[in-house]
Chains A and B, each alone.
Chain A
Amino acid sequence: MSDKISRRDFLKLAGVGAATTAVLTGCGPAARLVQREPYTKMPEYTYNGLSTYYATTCRECSAGCGLIARTYQGRAIKVEGNPNNPVNLGKTCARGQATLEGLYNPQRVRGPIKHSRGQSLYGSDNQNVESNMSWDDAIQVVADALSKNQPNEIAFLMGMAPDHLFDLITDLTKAINAPAPIRFGALGMFEARTTLMQAANDLLGQSGLPFFDIGNADLVFSFGANFLETWLSPVAQTRGYSSLRRRNPNQRGYFVQFEARMSQTGAKADEWIPITPGTEGLVALALGSLMVTASGASLPAAYSNVDVNSIANVSGVTLDTLKRLANMFAGSAHPLAISGGAALGQSNGLQTAEAVLTLNALVNNIGKDGGVFLSPLAPLADEYHRPASIREMDDFVAKLQSGSIKVLFVHGVNPLFELPKSIALRDAFKNVPQIVSFATFPDETAVQADYIFPDKHGLESWGYQKVAAGAGSSTLSGAQPVVSGVYTADGAVPQIFYDARATADVLLAAAQKAGGTLASALKFKDELEYIQSQLKGLLGNTDGFFSAAEINTFTAYFQQNGGWWKTSDDRVAPSASNALNKTFNATPAQFVGDGELYFVPFVEPVMAEAGANKPWLQEIPDPTTTVVWNSWVEINPDTAAQLGVDNDDVVLISSDAGSVEASVYKYPAIRPDTIAMPFGQGHTAYGQFAQGRGVNPFDLLSNATNEAGDLAFASMKVSIKKTGKKRQLSRLEGVIGVYENFGQQP
């Protein structure tokens, strides 16, 4: 495949699309409306009625799972995992499956739009606002923004995925000496990537994302880590979990979860230990201390300040339990401790991460199978560029607020939704004269932008993605368009319905228009040429899944196989020599506010931050509560009885930062002093399926951070008030059958 041919040419199709979808109806005579023959020029290899499969990469989160998309007469029908991609080995999560509903979403941005801030991008009838400028004008706008502003007045805010666009924009900013693009995502914040990397750096002396080898362990202690849900690379970790349970047919791996609210991951644990929020690190220290004491060795520096009795008191885990668990951990052949989730989102999150790493070091599993590694660095990557922490985002927002930024480009992230309200980004936007959004969907940030130049959906785009976590081998996932776009066939000539353009193409064209250093630094005809220029670095590598000496051949293989990855085990085994020498103060967590209840926000595992506009994800029940289409607040039934509230009663939850109203879900597996709320709903834009549905728990959060600068999202104390209103939650489970007394209040 030469670089002159892009698949867009022969994927050009006609007659398909909006009005006359080929399969309209089922069993009625309406099937006469069927129209066939979408192609004007049918590719030689395509037969009617037979599918064509393309390998690409899932863009729903930043894990970089490989996909195989099945297409049929120019339409994408189904995505499945790419069995060769080391991240997911042919598997997908629910979000990946629903990516088609993003591609064919009824609310996407129709084309380049100049619009006044705050104006909705779709009308009350849910019709998308029409494009009101041409792409040439759009490119001119970008070119002007890049050339007429001072370099330090230009800012790029990007999503979490370390993809080709990030490389391109990094090159672009380097060429004009602008500040490097900032990357951010709510998931990265919930995962506390900064904290994890800082802990690795502090204890192991090497920077990188930790890689927990669940699959080869025998015993897993997870301190709040929701590794089966959205944490780092859920599909890969689920595979690890599967292997933990079934690797050894004679001995099933054991799994203990410490957390205040039973998560989906906690539900799969053999033991779920409801500890006081913020004491996870302390428990890890106590376990370590008890293990050392039991073995009769002298306490290393790490455990010098640990008072086991007081930890047992404050955490709510009895000393007996702690001793039993410590024994279990010490006696296991391959024990593994993981920290994550709400445990790190505390004021003492870094201490927790480090205490857990110390526990691993104590059983000497750093760099060993079934232990802790650092994730392999992706091909082409010089280092892992982590997304910004909240502290850095705070600084960035302050910079916007100060008015020193004249133009802000936003791509791949929806910061107005994904940042706590207490970080006043919305206000800061007022001091930015020009905001350009490259959003595919009409999200909250796009609504506040001056220009929306929609990027193509992941399934329409070229690209690659450097895999940061999950794969044991160094992996570069490759993406290619599987369809040329969404078309309508209202007239004889099919019209593109969503006139999106790859942001990389827009930036490259703008760079040429802007001229000067920019034009000479980014002399690429289009996105594909840029990608090829990057892939040249891999030519001749023989330790990969395939190799090629010539770039066009390599690109063809790259697209055909959905990326390039090494066949070796590239996990980094760091040195653990100093891991036990850091002393801890064993400080309990600090909480914000004087409410009586701990507040634990968690990511709704199916929906996550950007799934709300996909009706199928809305309708897929939450794995623990089975609630669909809305958000809820989880309260222990005893607490609910004390408050005099029942299922579906609307309560007002208020913290120091704000208040929200949500329906009560009496959740039996949560501490009575804790309430929990899912993150994922509460959109004020983002299409008809998302808008006006549920609430965003971020409205309750302050900008308090942990020691590493990640948001201390679980550090709020809140109070609850009954409102007297009732709003029925839709759930899959039958309340009559699942709960006692036929679900009636006793």
Chain B
Amino acid sequence: MSAIAKALPRLRPEEMEDPKEHLMHDPMPRGDMNTMVLDSMHTATWKYWTVVTILAFIVVTCLGYAWYYLIMQGLGVSGDDRPVYWGVFLVNFVYWIGISHSGTLTSAILRVLKIESRRPFTRVAELMTAFAIVNAGLSVFMHMGRVWLAYWMIPYPNERTIWPDFHSPLMWDFMAITTYLICSSLYLFLPLIPDLAMVRDRSKGWVKTFYKILAIGFRGTEGEWKNLHLAMNIFAFAIIPVAFSVHTIVAWDFAMAIRPGWSSSVFGPYFVSGALLSGVAAVPIVLFLVRSTMKNMKYFLRPEHFDTVGKMLLIISMIWAYFYFNDYIVSWYGGDKWEKILNLFVQTGPQWWLWYLMLFCNIVVPWSILWRKKWRQTPWLMALVGILINVGMYTERYIIVPEMLTINRMPFTWHSYIPRVEIILTIGTFALFLLLYFAASRILPLIPAWEVQEGQEGHILRKIGKARIPTISEID
């Protein structure tokens, strides 16, 4: 911290930022802060209910009814065909897994690295994990021809004396996602406990009972805090390899197949970087929405947090580009005829523009905007960048799944793919994601108040001469 003190005198006054801009140096009494968090939870205007109603309606029709229709009619109502046996459902699956990935992973990495500006938004990111994984699971179930028999993937002793096949990447996937779902739910839940306890203590009646159950009797004793921190530390470290493995295994669903374009050894890290890119890009969107729609949030979520996410985005975008061109150049230089045709098809085929859209959104946009601090600190711009990157990453998955499936080793069968009922169901999943967020925003404290408080307690502004120097005491 002394480095900052040395650097400060060189800045001219107008360049000096007010340390108070940082949440950590803008402390607030605990009681007030808890009230603010509770207030934001309990404020539900007519606008809120209107949006929730609309979202619920979309979920019931676009997700519920359309899926019922899909199940009853069979996958004929989707756009899948030969050779594009996997369509938008699998795109959605990879996309949502990617989103889900980043929430927990970002939070875990930031926690492990002790990045202080993480404190107010880890919860938002972790919730993203939980809700996105719900959508990812739903997408897989939508994709299945006979979803009512999906339980056959569960290994349990049965009257048929037959087990699932553990050779199948889909089984690994099933296992990995189940593990990830459990781990990330726990990882979401652990830091929630003190906040739930806080809500419990400030509510009455059956609501209190509800939070009483959720808070599993947390009373804030020294021992409880110690155990909580220990558990969180273990999980933060443990979940990083789990998250990496999950998305690597998702990549293996593709990479293990003998198909041109898919069968690539770099697909694992490439998919992980892609997942991070889309997931981290989703964070500023959610932050922006939360900050601009919920009460008291401007205090918690500040430009500095957008700045942190922006820096991460820039780096991840570069990593992604590195892996993408690595994969691309290897396949191009390899000169395999099928890879060649596939690349030609992606770039000049009927849907050539998708490829350029992907490159624009994933590389041009972040590289040209995120280098500048001022732009990084503009919430709406960051939200826009986040949306564009998500469009780009969705396009990337679209290219990998239906576009690449169009080209196989039997040119006589090459038929293109036009999504049909998938579009409606995709809208439904997005609506479900939002609806879950909206519901969560009134049930769970979106800001981990205790973590912010903990951080603020550790951060102190010291006056040295005229300058106020931020310092931090060792926490943990």
Contact = CB atoms under 8 A, between A and B. Distances in A.
Interface of A: 732-738, 742, 744
Contacts of B415: 734, 736
B13 interface: no
B406 interface: yes
Given A742-B348, A742-B349, A742-B350, A736 B416 contact: yes
B411 interface: yes
A160 to B, nearest CB: 36
Interface in B402-418: 406, 410-416
A736 B405 CA distance: 13
B412 A736 contact: no
A738 B412 contact: yes
Among A732, A735, A736, A738: residue with most chain B CB under 10 A: A736
A718 B267 CA distance: 57
B286 to A, nearest CB: 39
Contacts of A732: 412
Given A734-B414, A737-B411, 16 more contacts: A732-B412, A733-B412, A734-B83, A736-B345, A736-B349, A736-B406, A736-B414, A736-B415, A736-B416, A737-B414, A738-B411, A738-B414, A742-B345, A742-B348, A742-B350, A744-B350
Contacts of A744: 349-350
B149 to A, nearest CB: 9
30 contacts: A732-B412, A733-B412, A734-B83, A734-B411, A734-B412, A734-B413, A734-B414, A734-B415, A735-B414, A736-B345, A736-B349, A736-B350, A736-B406, A736-B411, A736-B414, A736-B415, A736-B416, A737-B410, A737-B411, A737-B412, A737-B413, A737-B414, A738-B412, A738-B414, A742-B345, A742-B348, A742-B349, A742-B350, A744-B349, A744-B350
Interface string B408-437: 001111111000000000000000000000
A738 B411 CA distance: 6
A732 B345 CA distance: 20
Nearest to A732: B412
Contacts, number: 31
A736 B412 CA distance: 8
A735 B349 CA distance: 12
A736 B408 CA distance: 11
Interface of B: 83, 345, 348-350, 406, 410-416
A733 B83 CA distance: 12
Nearest to B81: A734
A734 B411 CA distance: 7
A737 B82 CA distance: 13
A737 to B, nearest CB: 3
A738 B410 CA distance: 10
**Nearest 3 pairs of A and B residues by beta carbon:** A737-B411, A737-B414, A734-B414
Contacts of B414: 734-738
A732 B410 CA distance: 13
Nearest to B82: A734
Contacts of A736: 345, 349-350, 406, 411, 414-416
A746 B414 CA distance: 18
A736 to B, nearest CB: 4
Nearest to A27: B146
Among A732, A734, A738: residue with most chain B CB under 10 A: A734
B408 to A, nearest CB: 9
B85 to A, nearest CB: 14
A742 B406 CA distance: 11
A32 B350 CA distance: 48
Contacts of A734: 83, 411-415
B148 to A, nearest CB: 10
A26 to B, nearest CB: 11
A737 B348 CA distance: 14
A505 to B, nearest CB: 45
Nearest to B349: A742
Contacts of A733: 412
Contacts of B416: 736
Contacts of B348: 742
A43 B141 CA distance: 51
A744 B350 CA distance: 7
A644 to B, nearest CB: 20
B181 to A, nearest CB: 30
B413 to A, nearest CB: 5
Nearest to A742: B349
A521 B327 CA distance: 88
Nearest to B345: A742
Contacts of B83: 734
Nearest to B344: A742
A734 B412 CA distance: 5
A624 to B, nearest CB: 14
A455 B426 CA distance: 55
Among B345, B348, B411: residue with most chain A CB under 10 A: B411
Nearest to A736: B414
B129 to A, nearest CB: 37
A99 to B, nearest CB: 29
Contacts of A735: 414
A734 B413 CA distance: 5
A737 B345 CA distance: 10
A735 B83 CA distance: 13
A730 to B, nearest CB: 11
A373 to B, nearest CB: 40
B354 to A, nearest CB: 14
A525 to B, nearest CB: 53
B262 to A, nearest CB: 18
A734 B414 CA distance: 5
Contacts of B350: 736, 742, 744
A13 to B, nearest CB: 33
Nearest to B413: A734
A732 B413 CA distance: 8
Nearest to B416: A736
A736 B84 CA distance: 13
Nearest to B348: A742
A634 B406 CA distance: 27
Contacts of B410: 737
Contacts of B345: 736, 742
Contacts of A737: 410-414
A734 to B, nearest CB: 4
A128 B9 CA distance: 97
Contacts of A738: 411-412, 414
A738 B83 CA distance: 14
A734 B407 CA distance: 10
Among B83, B348, B350, B415: residue with most chain A CB under 10 A: B415
A742 B413 CA distance: 12
Nearest to A733: B412
A737 B415 CA distance: 8
A735 B411 CA distance: 9
A651 to B, nearest CB: 23
A318 B49 CA distance: 83
A252 to B, nearest CB: 26
A211 to B, nearest CB: 37
A489 B464 CA distance: 100
Contacts of B406: 736
A734 B83 CA distance: 10
B319 to A, nearest CB: 32
A201 to B, nearest CB: 47
A732 B349 CA distance: 20
A735 B413 CA distance: 8
A733 B415 CA distance: 8
Nearest to A731: B415
Nearest to B146: A27
A684 B416 CA distance: 33
A487 B341 CA distance: 55
Contacts of B413: 734, 737
A419 to B, nearest CB: 38
A736 B82 CA distance: 13
A648 to B, nearest CB: 14
A685 B234 CA distance: 76
A735 B350 CA distance: 12
A710 B348 CA distance: 52
